[in-house]
Amino acid sequence: MSTTRPYSPGDRGPESGDGGASGAPRDGGPAVPSGRRQARRLSFDGESGVVPLARDFARQALHAWGWLPAASADQRAAAEDVLLVVSELVTNACLHAEGPDELRISCDNKVLRVEVSDRGAGQPAPRTPHRAGRPGGHGMFIVQRLCLDWGVVRTPGVTGKTVWAELGAPA
Question: How far is residue 137 from each of residues 36, 67, 80, measured CA to CA in Å?
Answer: 36, 29, 20
Q: Is the pLDDT of residue 17 over 70?
A: no
Nearest C-alpha neighbor of 57 from the set 111, 108, 105, 109: 105
The rounded distance, in Å, linking the Cα atoms of 63 and 41 is 15
Q: pLDDT tens digits for 95-109?
A: 999 999 999 999 998
Predicted TM-score (pTM) of the model is 0.78
pLDDT in the model for residue 130: 61
pLDDT tens, residue by residue, 110-161: 999 999 999 998 888 776 666 666 667 778 989 999 999 999 999 888 889 9
**C-beta neighbour count of 95 within 10 angstroms:** 12
Q: What is the per-residue pLDDT for 6? A: 45
* pLDDT mean across residues, the chain: 81
Please state whether beta strands 100-107 and 111-118 pair in parallel, antiparallel, or not at all (unpaired).
antiparallel
CB of 80 closer than 8 Å to CB of 58: no
Q: Which amino acid does the sequence have at 85?
A: V
Task: Answer whether 165's CB lies under 8 Å from 75's CB.
Answer: no
